[in-house]
Amino acid sequence: MTGRPATDWPNHAEAWRAWRDALAGERMHHGWLLAGKAGLGKRDFAMAAARELVAEPGVPQPSGEHPDIITLTYGPKDDKGEKAQAEGKPFELARSIRIKQIRAMQRRLITRPTLGSRRAIIIDPADDLERNAANALLKSLEEPPAGTFFLLVTHRPARLLPTIRSRCRTLRFPVLTDSQLGAMLHAGGLPSDAQAIAAAEGSFGAAVRFAEEDLAPIARVISGLLASGDSWMTGRGELARLIGPRAGRERVQAILDLAQSLAARAARAAEDPVRRARLIDAHTALVRLAAEAPTANFDPALLPFEIGSLLVAAAPASEPAHG
């Protein structure tokens, strides 16, 4: 995803104020939840905030990787992936953060920080901690080593253990306005189509994906299927053409995210309760399909028609979902 300096995110001002007030106080809280929907720069904030936390006057700080900032995110999927990672080769990522990653981090906490008196642990996204990993992390949050601070990036705080949430202070990151998204896309050299921006619903990450994948034409087809149906299959055929016969996983995921967003927006705007219920059902089905798509053995040529049929089912006087 196209990046931006953390201090340049227009939705971070209040989070920075709260963080720096705490940093200047006598007793800094040891656990922080950085909460908000995906694509709001929470990881950028975590990295910049961690650097402020560990920096000490008179101690030179590295510009690259910092020895006192530990970041946990998705690791290799399996032993084969770990070997490929060690050899500097591409590897498939796991879909969760595992207990062995937490255990490895905890072993590092036995030693003192390298450059100063503080160490930062960033977990991104904490939503995807395995249950055993979350329980292991909880022990460190309950009895944190001196000078150790945790920054947990979370897109869906409700997925975290209540005991983890209760031991952390929350910084909330608001969504971006359409004008802010447009300005950020322009600054990154990306097109700022109004419909794709609206579909991003305040997420710069989503807006970037839509722009990089050139999803504006697909957004128009999806909106048409939701609004008017597709009695002659022409809309679904056009959707399949635009998606392409060999779309990669990232493109398919971006399209599913776009379809979910447009269905949700239509549901919020619908005045007819029957129409709203259909849109909600379509959104639920799209969420389920998005969860299944990365691992299920879908025929790439048929997946666009599956997406299209779910959208058509939500249209007024719609045909059956697979009609």
Q: How far apart are alpha carbons 40 and 36 in whole angstroms?
A: 7
**Cα dihedral sign for 293, 216, 3, 200?**
negative
pTM: predicted TM-score of the whole model, two decimal places? 0.87
User: Looking at the predicted structure, is the pLDDT value of residue 152 above 80?
Assistant: yes
Q: How far apart are alpha carbons 279 and 264 in whole angstroms?
A: 7
Q: What is the 3-state secondary structure (H, E, C) of 29-90?
A: CCEEEEECCCCCCHHHHHHHHHHHHHCCCCCCCCCCCCCCEEEECCCECCHHHHHHHHCCCC
CATH architecture of 6-172: 3-Layer(aba) Sandwich (3.40)
Dump pLDDT digits (tens) for 195-218. Answer: 778 889 999 999 999 999 999 999
Dump pLDDT digits (tens) for 235-256. Answer: 999 999 999 988 888 899 999 9
With bands split at pLDDT 50, 70 and 90, how would you rate the model's confidence at 318?
A: low
The pLDDT value given to residue 7 = 54
Q: How far apart are alpha carbons 270 and 291 in whole angstroms?
A: 26
Please give the backbone phi and psi of residue 34, each rounded to the nearest 5 degrees, phi first.
-100, 100
The pLDDT value given to residue 323 = 46
